[in-house]
Amino acid sequence: MNDPWTDQLSEYLDDELPADDRASLESHLRVCVACTTALADLKRVAVRARALTDRDPAADLWPGIAERIGSATPSSGVPAVRLMRRSGRRWSFSVPELAAACVALMVLSGGAAWLLHPGQVPLAVAPARAPQAGVVSIPASARAGSVGYDGAVADLERVLTEGRGRLDTATVRVIVRNLAAIDSAIAQAQRAVSADSANLYLNSHLAATRRQKLELLRQAASLVSAVS
Amino acid sequence: MTPSTSGVATLRQEQVGRSDSDAVDATLAASGDASAFERLYRAHIGRIHSLVRRMMSDQEADDVAQDVFVRAWQKLGSFRGESAFGTWLHRLAVNVILVRRETLGIRRQRHHEGDAMLEMVPARRAQVELNMDFETAIEQLPDGARQIFVLHDVEGYRHEEIADMLGVAAGTSKSQLHRARMALRRHLDR
Amino acid sequence: MLLTVAITLGTLALAGQVDTTLPVQPGQRLEVNTFGGEINVKSWARNAVRVQADPSSRTQVVVSVSGSTVSVHTEGRRGPASAVDLNITAPAWMGLDLSGVYADVTVEGARGPITVETVQGEVDVTGGEGNVSLSSVQGSVRLRGGKGRIEVHSVNEDVTVLESSGEIRAEAVNGEVSLEKVDATSLDATTVNGDVKYDGPIHDGGRYALSSHNGDITLAVAPGANAAVSVSTYGGEFESEFPVTITQGRKGKRFDFTLGKGGAQVELESFQGTIRLVRPGSSALHGDRDDHD
């Protein structure tokens, strides 16, 4: 029933009708049962809406929130989520730890490049050593992935952990899921290498997969710094 | 109020209003006190979560409610105490919801992860029968009318404020409210 | 509102429906940034940039020119910007730098360098010359008709490169990497969870590296191709649609062979998937498989 009278009922209820219209409507209400009923209904809807009770969520959300706010101090007065402004290509970071991790990444990328071309260039990160005929020697530092790699990963993971509150839930979920996929691939490659440590392909694949993890962490960390 | 022996009235602790303890906790939280922020969370999560649920859906409510509190933590520095903390938080929540609605709307076909979120799977705990059906009816309103109804009749915003928040004319807000109320009157008696 | 303005240094903040055109000169580049919405860039022959948008009342579109950069971005008038679709027409020669968070980006007809970065959005570019770099975290990335130094990257979805040429690097973590009718002088195609497919010429002196952890590698090889191929897998298999002569024995699932005179260097690696050589046009390149779609 959408006639001009009923269309005014909500405004009348909310006391928003101009005086003339209000007078006409009130005269109409005296003779129209349908409109009077509708008005009463609308009032009950509004009252019921006001009376809706709030419910806590089924799960306690605080742990998730606490994890995302971490120990970071709230910023003062500056909007935390601004437009994502690219500050340049991959190597521009604002956070000191990021800069340190970034240097480690560049050194390592150079190192990893050696490992990715088995048979073409020496396997060692330090370039002067060539593999001896028939025996593949992989220096301990390269095999362990080197302190540099682990350090860079730890730094970037810390930046991501501290700053992930600034990213929205869906993005965090995508990053975490893909880091897990890469970690799983690294674990499989690692197991394979332990069983066959002289295998050139396995070693280079492990190095390449680790590099992919570093790349994804770097990308996530630069997202974090882009929204801070 | 218990008059003290010196004749000056003393307020009992319980009479310190919600907004006073909020103000104290907000100040503490703004300087990094996570326990204070947790108290604020516990005091306001029911209201915020319910708001998200009514404006969006059950599925998204947990995620978005979390995002609201995380954003509130980040913006605490800009809360100057001109309004009650609850009011400030509520306004912030509405902002988060509105931006989230739009981005979800844009990517409705292509957000693979979100497909499940957009399905309406009722999963509610048992509560007062009347309340339950009315809330379900709200959920089934078309988006625009639903947002306006929730903001006006449930949350108490004025049409001018709603028009500003949603980017519509005040007249649109009024007519959508009316449509929502007319649709909901059928669900009053069950 | 049609506004033609000659601006060398200045800013326009536009609210309400936007339709603004400003003249530009060769050498200038276009930067577009938005939080959410679409960024659609088309080309025309005019030396001008036209920006069309219909933002909500809570958002304004800011167009500014500073030296050689024309910049378009969105700002919320109170709080964060709401989503807005930016429809832009720019000269084909103009370099593009497009970014956003919840932004889907499409580009058509561009003939200059292009950089696109988005987080939760899809990227679909036709064109691009010189440095072409496309990246999304959540969404798929597709490039058609690009030329030059090409880098396409998605974390969670597929990467597709069609009818493009040059030095190509295509990477995904949880997606497929497909390169079709692609003329690469060097290629690095890699993913963790997904297949890699390459269908294009193999040039003497080129280097082609295709690798995956869990997925299959499919390489199309035309008759007469010259390549030194090394195949490495740990738990996977090797198949070929045509006979190959293994020159270095199969030791532990790694072996080499030579096609023709061996001019190009080809490395095919998959930890657990199948590595296969096919002829161009083979159904294996376009196969519908029962996998992770």
Q: How large is the average pLDDT for residues C1-5?
A: 39
> Could B95 and C102 be called an inter-chain contact, meaning their C-beta atoms sit closer than 8 Å?
no
3-state secondary structure of C18: strand
β-bridge mates for residue C171, sequence order: C153, C190
Residue of C nearest to B113 (CA): C138
Q: Does A201 touch chain C (CB under 8 A)?
A: yes
pLDDT score, position B151: 93
> Could B34 and A56 be called an inter-chain contact, meaning their C-beta atoms sit closer than 8 Å?
no
> Rounded to an integer, what distance in angstroms lies between the CA atom of residue C79 and that of residue C62?
16
* Min Cα separation C175/chain B (Å): 13
A·C CB contacts under 8 A: 95
Nearest to B95 among C36, C56, C80 (CB): C80
3-state secondary structure of C207: strand
> Could A56 and B46 be called an inter-chain contact, meaning their C-beta atoms sit closer than 8 Å?
yes
User: Per residue of chain A (228 residues), what is the pLDDT tens digit?
Assistant: 457 888 899 999 998 899 999 999 999 999 999 999 999 999 999 999 988 888 899 999 999 888 888 644 444 332 222 222 233 222 222 333 333 443 333 333 333 322 222 223 222 333 223 333 322 233 333 333 345 677 778 888 888 888 777 787 788 888 989 999 999 999 999 998 888 888 888 888 888 898 899 889 888 888 887 765
Q: For the segment B8-64, what is each residue's pLDDT rounded down to a tens digit?
A: 233 333 334 667 788 888 888 887 788 889 999 999 999 999 999 999 888 888 999
pTM above 0.90, yes or no: no
**Using CB atoms and an 8 Å cut-off, which of residues 139-198 of chain C contact chain B?**
139
Q: For the segment C83-119, what is each residue's pLDDT rounded down to a tens digit?
A: 889 999 999 999 999 999 889 999 999 999 999 999 9
Identify the residue whose tokens are 């995002």: B67
Q: How large is the average pLDDT for residues C180-203?
A: 93
Task: Decide: C173 and A178 in contact? Cβ < 8 Å.
Answer: yes
> Could B75 and A74 be called an inter-chain contact, meaning their C-beta atoms sit closer than 8 Å?
yes
pLDDT score, position A160: 81
pLDDT score, position A142: 36
3-state secondary structure chain B: CEECCCCCEECCHHHCCHHHHHHHHHHHHHCCCHHHHHHHHHHHHHHHHHHHHHHCCHHHHHHHHHHHHHHHHHHHHHCCCCCCHHHHHHHHHHHHHHHHHHHHHHCCCCCHHHHHHHCCCCCCCCCCHHHHHHHHHHHCCCHHHHHHHHHHHHCCCCHHHHHHHHCCCHHHHHHHHHHHHHHHHHHCCC
CB < 8 Å to C104, chain B: 106-107, 110
Share of chain C above pLDDT 70, in %: 91
Nearest to A202 among C137, C190, C234 (CB): C234
Nearest to A80 among B29, B69, B75 (CB): B75
CB < 8 Å to B42, chain A: 62
Q: For the segment C212-256, what is each residue's pLDDT rounded down to a tens digit?
A: 999 999 999 988 889 999 998 888 888 888 887 776 655 557 788
pLDDT score, position B43: 93
* Min Cα separation B100/chain C (Å): 9
User: Phi-psi category of C80—alpha, beta or left, where left has phi over 0 and alpha has psi -120 to 50?
Assistant: beta
Q: Does C173 touch chain A (CB under 8 A)?
A: yes
Task: Decide: C59 and C17 in contact? Cβ < 8 Å.
Answer: no
CB < 8 Å to A16, chain B: 159, 174
Q: How many CB atoms lie within 10 A of CB B120?
A: 11
Q: Does C36 touch chain B (CB under 8 A)?
A: yes
pLDDT score, position A121: 27
CB half-sphere exposure, C135, CA atoms < 13 A:
21
Nearest to B73 among A74, A79, A173 (CB): A74
**Using CB atoms and an 8 Å cut-off, which of residues 67-96 of chain C contact chain A?**
73-75, 79-81
pLDDT score, position A227: 67
Task: Decide: C120 and C126 in contact? Cβ < 8 Å.
Answer: no
